[in-house]
Structure 1
Amino acid sequence: MTGYGKAVLQLPTKKVTIEIKSLNSKNLDLNVRIPSYYKEKELAVRKKLASSLVRGKVDFSIYVEMTADETSTTVNKTVVKQYIEQLRNTILLASNDDVELLKMAIRMPDALSTEREELDENEWDLINENIDIAIKEIVQYRVDEAASLEIDFKERITNINTYLEEVKALDNDRVENVKTRLKKAIDDLKVDTDENRFEQELIYYLEKLDINEEKVRLANHLDYFLQTLASEDSNGKKLGFIVQEMGREINTTGSKANYAPMQKAVIQMKNELEQIKEQILNVL
């Protein structure tokens, strides 16, 4: 959900710049900064952004730069003169130090007055049109990024599927390896064993290490991820849930593997899944 949109509007007396920035987030976290004389429109702006952007940490800003020769800020001459006289009497400066006194006086309360600008509805209509332009830009930015993410997701799902096939191919060798190690451990003890009882215990042990269910469920999750990715609905949270289930099956397979070559394949699957997790929050 990272993105950026910008629109610039030149009005007769001012230049208005509209910026929208978005970062990853599970929910919509909206921060709006606009001049005080547009504050009454803030709620409408928030609704517009929420309906268009859905999720993400969104910063929306309207910057106004005055371009007219006249300014709405004026100097209160009478107040400033009084400040200068009071300062001169307080610190006993000579009359030729009025420049320094003026610097001090101009920073005092009420030295400057600003005429409050009222909201012009016609002006706001133009600004609102440019807000729509900025929103279209950030939405297009997200669409372009989503296209590259889709390619990346498909590639990593394919890689996980490849490692899953490797796990399946190693499963028979793993079982034989477990049997051999257990048999060797018994032989090293140099005690007589009941072969039937040993076989029963071995079967029980191997059942605890069986990963057939995990392999089937993981394969189903991989297919379901691709199906959901291809749907037209907003499905970022759903993809996140599927990724959690994939991680659960991969972790269980790793804990049951008990065989170094298989554990290496599991680590590779985990690596690919972590890459997906980092980007999944960027999907609406």
Structure 2
Amino acid sequence: MPLSGMTGFGRAEGAAGDWSWAVEARSVNGRNLEVRFRGPPGFEGLDRAAREAAQSRFARGQVNVGVQARRAESAADVRVNQEVLERYLALGAPLLAAGKAGPPSLDGLLALRGVIEAAEPADDPQAQAELEAAVALSVGAALEALAASRREEGLALTAVLIGLTDRIEALVGEAAALAEGQPAAIKERFERRMIELAGEAVSPDKIASEAAALAVKADVREELDRLKAHVDAARGHIAADGPQGRRLDFLTQEFMREANTLCSKSALGALTTVGLELKATIEQFREQVQNVE
């Protein structure tokens, strides 16, 4: 499976009986996997289903799952409050007897506040369990859509990371070519400095010996070899199956450690320039890796 990102969105809708619902799943970057569920009263059992479904699909990221459910109103859902209705009729009876008001109409009575009220649905555990199971399927569908969205982001990230890896490899090659000139540059600089301080009396052998010691300290071949190995490792992680974000994040730290050492050992302005550009490219690589699952 190619790289996956950690940002995305998924939505699914469903209906059963007189219920309809919509599920939305969103995710953003996160160091670990964190799942949050929000649903209407009576659907608390979906929290576990949402967490298990998310854990089976994702390894990292902050995942938010929200459920909105609505029960359609019908004639069976309402009733006439006889007590309230009779109270209204009793209050109006004196006015009718005095001829101050006409007989009330049915629609007028039913429109009075409190006469029509919602009836509490019968408590049916089996029906509620079947409803939650149906909604859980939509939760799974929304999370699957979220996973597809994250995979799309992963495809875009893959292209960017491959391009940055190629750029790092090219800069390492430039650094290697420039580093070959470091011993001669160090020797020339040291010889010039010694002549300025001691004049022509300084021994050529002494200059050669000291310059060689300085060149050994400034040798960057090990750093360049490790950078080349890291490039190969990066390509391997980018092409590998499964979540690779943590591995790439660690590899980025190793990239930067070698680049810092390369710059500190540089005795050439051109090599330092390449080293700084290498560090900037590695930083771009690191920023993109933060989005990889």
Q: Aligning the two structures, in what range does the TM-score lie when normalised by the shorter sequence?
A: 0.7 to 0.9
The reply on whether 1:148 has 2:156 as its aligned counterpart is yes
Q: What TM-score does the superposition give when structure 1 sets the normalisation length?
A: 0.79
Q: What TM-score does the superposition give when structure 2 sets the normalisation length?
A: 0.76
Corresponding residue number in structure 1 for 2:227: 218
Taking a change above 3 Å as real, the CA distance of residues 194 and 212 of structure 1, as seen in their structure-2 partners, is same
Matched residue SS, 1:152:
helix
Asked whether the 8 Å contact 2:25–2:142 carries over to 1, the reply is yes
The reply on whether 1:207 has 2:216 as its aligned counterpart is yes
Matched residue SS, 1:37:
coil
Corresponding residue number in structure 1 for 2:167: 159
Asked whether the 8 Å contact 1:9–1:17 carries over to 2, the reply is yes
The CA deviation at 1:162 is 0.7
Asked whether the 8 Å contact 1:25–1:55 carries over to 2, the reply is yes
Aligned CA RMSD, in angstroms, stands at 2.8
Matched residue SS, 1:196:
helix
The CA deviation at 1:113 is 10
Give the % identical residues: 23
Corresponding residue number in structure 2 for 1:32: 37
Q: Name stretches of at least 5 consecutive residues in structure 1 with no aligned partner.
A: 79-111
Q: Work out the number of aligned pairs and report it.
A: 251
Larger Rg over CA atoms:
2
Provide the C-alpha distance between the structure 2 equivalents of 1:259 and 1:116, rounded to a whole number of angstroms: 82
Corresponding residue number in structure 2 for 1:237: 246
The reply on whether 1:135 has 2:143 as its aligned counterpart is yes
Provide the C-alpha distance between the structure 1 equivalents of 2:56 and 2:64, rounded to a whole number of angstroms: 15
Asked whether the 8 Å contact 2:23–2:65 carries over to 1, the reply is yes
Taking a change above 3 Å as real, the CA distance of residues 7 and 202 of structure 1, as seen in their structure-2 partners, is same
Provide the C-alpha distance between the structure 1 equivalents of 2:229 and 2:240, rounded to a whole number of angstroms: 17
Code of the aligned partner of 2:52 = K
Query: After alignment, is 250-259 or 13-22 more displaced?
Result: 13-22
Taking a change above 3 Å as real, the CA distance of residues 246 and 282 of structure 1, as seen in their structure-2 partners, is same
Corresponding residue number in structure 1 for 2:62: 57
Taking a change above 3 Å as real, the CA distance of residues 173 and 117 of structure 1, as seen in their structure-2 partners, is farther
Provide the C-alpha distance between the structure 1 equivalents of 2:119 and 2:203, rounded to a whole number of angstroms: 99
Q: Name stretches of at least 5 consecutive residues in structure 2 with no aligned partner.
A: 1-5, 85-116
Query: After alignment, is 136-145 or 176-185 more displaced?
Result: 176-185
